[in-house]
Each structure stands twice: as structure tokens, then as C-alpha cells.
Chains A and B, each alone.
Chain A
Amino acid sequence: MSEPQEANGGKIYVYYPGCSLSATGVAYDESLRTLFRLLNLRLQELEDWNCCGATSYMCIDEGSAFLLSARNLSLAQKVGARELVAPCAACYLVLRKTQDYVEKHREIGGKVAESLQRAGLPPLDGVKVRHPLEVLYNDLGVEKLRQLAVRQWRGGRIACYYGCQAVRPYDEVDRPHNPMRMDELLRAVGVPTVDYALKTKCCGGSLTGTVHEVGLRLNYILLKEARRKGAEAIVTLCPLCQFNLDVYQAEIARQSGERFDMPVLYFTQVLGWALGGDFKELGLKRSISGSDLIRRWFTAKEEVEAYV
């Protein structure tokens, strides 16, 4: 089957949202869709996708964890896609790892092929797993983004936080030790970013919900360092990172006696704003911490137009 295309020949990106993007990470979904629309890139949600299994499923049963992701990859192939775009870092990694292990380990590959056949789904044939950061960086490019920006940034300096599973252990989204692509894209649209040494340190993922104190401690360190580097906000590429840094901020402040109230945004929200997206469609009202600052930085479209 040929790749899904629009009538005018434009490529369609098949999109795997994952569970977070329809609940706690809904702002990521909204801003991603808005950004792609503003860039004239088409996103099409993968029909009837299933959970990626994240890190938890793998703790119980490895073999069937690969089958979960194989079903998603196979569904993408069924609609003719050669690529699948996954914005959540956990989803991205599980899909990417499955693709890798299926190719590298014959036993896993054999099991996967067998079970897909039994379910009446097409066998895996090298669907490429992609992250939106890398799609924007490689398919669109920094220069193009610079040309397309229509708004001037009136906010403060930003710490780009890459977290763990999008940049590790695979190096396709960005370099594992010193990723810079989010910084490059943001700077291209005029957003100043700071040198943030903790950009790849772990936020603890689901630890904030299980061993709360440990999770909070990890996020406290991330917030404190961002502040120390002069950042007024943090930008992430993962719904779990955003959740941890945003939602628990008040509790962290109470325990540490330090004030933060920093906006924690998705890179798609900031880029979408630079390209002319509006407050609501970028999910900017969904942040819990730093909402006053967000309102000040991202003033409504009409106000900006009157202002310029």
C-alpha cells in the first residue's frame, strides 16, 4: 500500500497519542495538532490504537509487552504508513525498542510475526517510529521555522528539559548526552533558552505517585537548577515530565520553603504561539503552576495585534 497522502501530494503523519495525551497531557495533544495545522503538516490519529504498556507492563511480562507495541506498528502499516509519530517519551521508547528488538532478536521477531498473523494483522515491515521534535527538526528544519514565525516572543528565558526516554538509549530524537534540538527550534523563533545542565536528568516518572517523597525530591532539584540558571519557565517534550514539574510544584515549594510558580510548557505550545496559534487551542489554560505568567506572556491574539 502507498503512504497516506493528501490530494495535493502532502504527506500525512500518522499519530499515536497514547493514554496521557487524552487526559493529563491533553494540552500536548491540542498544541501538537494546532502546531501541525499552522505548519500545513497533516496529522492523522492511528485508529483503535492500544496502550504502549509504558514501563509498568514490561515489569510483568516482556514477551507480550512487545506484542502490544507490535499491534500499534502493524495498525500503522495497515493504513499504509511508513512512519508513526509518538509525542509521549514513554510511548516513543516502547515502540522504538519493540521495532529494534523485533529486528535484532529472531525469537522475539518470530513470536511477534506469529501473533500478528493470528490476529489478522499485517507483519511488521520496518515502520519508523518518530518523535515530533525530530520530525520538526529534520523534515521542516530550523531555518524554515524561523521564516514562518509571525509573533515576537515577549516572555522570559526558558530551560529546555529533555528528560529520559525520548533521548535515551536511542539517539535519533537528539544526542543522548547533550540534546540541543529543542533549544535550537525555540531560539529560531526568538525564544531565549538557558544552558540547563540537568536537561537529561530523570523526573522520576511515576515515582511521584508511588514513592512520593523520592519523586518530589527529583523534581525539586530540576526546578531549583532551572531557576538558578535564570530560567523563568521550563519547556518539556513529555507528558509525564510536564505533569510532575507542573502539578507538584506548590507542594515542593511548601516543603522546601522556596517559591517557584514556574510555567511548565510543552515545546509545541511555545512554537505554536510563535506561529500564530491562540491561547485556547494551544491548551495554555491547562497549566497549574505559573498561570499568571502564562497569561501575561501569551496574551490573546487581538490584544497582540492591537499592540503591534
Chain B
Amino acid sequence: MDFTPRRVIALVREGFRADVLSCQTIWLCASCYSCAVHCPQNVHITDLMYSLKREAIRHRMYPARFPIPVLAREFYELVRKRGRNSEIWLVLRMALKSNPFILLNMAKYGLSLLRTGRMSLRMERIQRVEELPKELNGIKEVAS
């Protein structure tokens, strides 16, 4: 984590746009909402982190080959195209586009997942993809 969350917010307030959008901290937020239920001022910190991640994606300012934003992009593409996510394919695509060495470590888990029947190689998709609203592709961002 390169900045603390408090520092991220301070940087936003003072307009250090590039520093915030290219940092790792915002991507390390796993959306556990711990801050959200503890904040006495009811600041929606998780939603704020999401906004910063989206800004970083939109302007391609996220740290290069950092696996978390790559995972988000691959996930997004998969869901938009097929309506469902397929865990194994998602991990493969994420690793190939960020750090293929991740796969070396993953491979040993593949076997135990296969053995226990927990790995599905099927490419999932919904039957009525046409029902996915057309705006999935380009809705205007709504402030929240």
C-alpha cells in the first residue's frame, strides 16, 4: 500500500490527481466496508474508492500490469459478452495479461480443485444475452 486511505482522501481534496489515480492503494481496497460502518461521519469510503478506480481505468492511469485492475477489466469484458463469469477462464486471462508467473503458483491448486470437483472448465453464458440491457455498454456515470 503506497498511501494510507486517509492520505488518499487528502490528496484528492488537494487536487493531486495523477498521484491518486496511479497509486496502488485504491486497488488494494477489497470492498470489505469495514471503514463504512466505522466512520462516524458516514463517509462512503468504499464508494469513493470505487470512483477513483473508475477514474483510473477511464484515463488508463492505473499502475501498469498490476493484476487487480487487469482482473477488473477482464471480469467486465467476460460479463458483458456472456452474462456470466467463469472462474477459471477469468483467472487465466488475468494472469496472462498481468503476470503469467501467477499461473505457476495456481497450477498446483488446479489439481486439488479438479480432484474435489470444484473446477468447472465450462464457459458459462446466459441463454438470453439479448436481455442484458444495451446500456451495459455505455451508460453515463451516475453520482452516488
Residues of A within 8 A of B (CB): 19-20, 22-27, 48-51, 53-64, 67-68, 70-71, 101, 105, 107-108, 111, 115-116, 118-121, 163-165, 168-169, 176-177, 200-202, 204-207, 209-212, 214, 247-248, 285-288
Question: Given the complex, which residues of B lie within 8 Å of A248, measured CB to CB?
Answer: 109
Q: Majority SS of interface residues in chain B?
A: helix
Question: Given the complex, which residues of A lie within 8 Å of B109, measured CB to CB?
Answer: 247-248
Cross-interface CB contact of A164 among B33, B127, B137, B144, cutoff 8 Å: B33
Q: Majority SS of interface residues in chain A?
A: loop
Cross-interface CB contact of A212 among B33, B36, B105, B140, cutoff 8 Å: B105
Q: Contact: B128 with A48, CB < 8 Å?
A: yes
Q: Contact: A211 with B67, CB < 8 Å?
A: yes
User: A-B pairs with the 9 shortest C-beta distances?
Assistant: A63-B139, A115-B133, A202-B32, A164-B32, A56-B75, A168-B33, A210-B67, A59-B72, A23-B120
Cross-interface CB contact of A107 among B34, B76, B131, B142, cutoff 8 Å: B142
> How many B residues touch A, CB cutoff 8 Å?
61
Most B CB contacts (10 A, CB to CB) among A24, A49, A53 go to: A24
Cross-interface CB contact of A169 among B37, B53, B112, B131, cutoff 8 Å: B37
Question: Given the complex, which residues of A lie within 8 Å of B68, measured CB to CB?
Answer: 206-207, 210-211
Residues of B within 8 A of A (CB): 28, 30-34, 36-37, 46, 50-51, 53-54, 57, 67-69, 71-73, 75-76, 79, 83-88, 91, 94, 98, 102, 105-106, 109, 112-113, 116-120, 124, 126-128, 130-137, 139-144
Q: Contact: B94 with A210, CB < 8 Å?
A: yes
Known: A63-B139, A63-B142. A288 touches B112 (CB 8 A): yes
Cross-interface CB contact of B50 among A25, A62, A163, A211, cutoff 8 Å: A62
Q: Contact: B118 with A205, CB < 8 Å?
A: no
Q: Contact: B87 with A23, CB < 8 Å?
A: yes
Q: Contact: A205 with B85, CB < 8 Å?
A: no
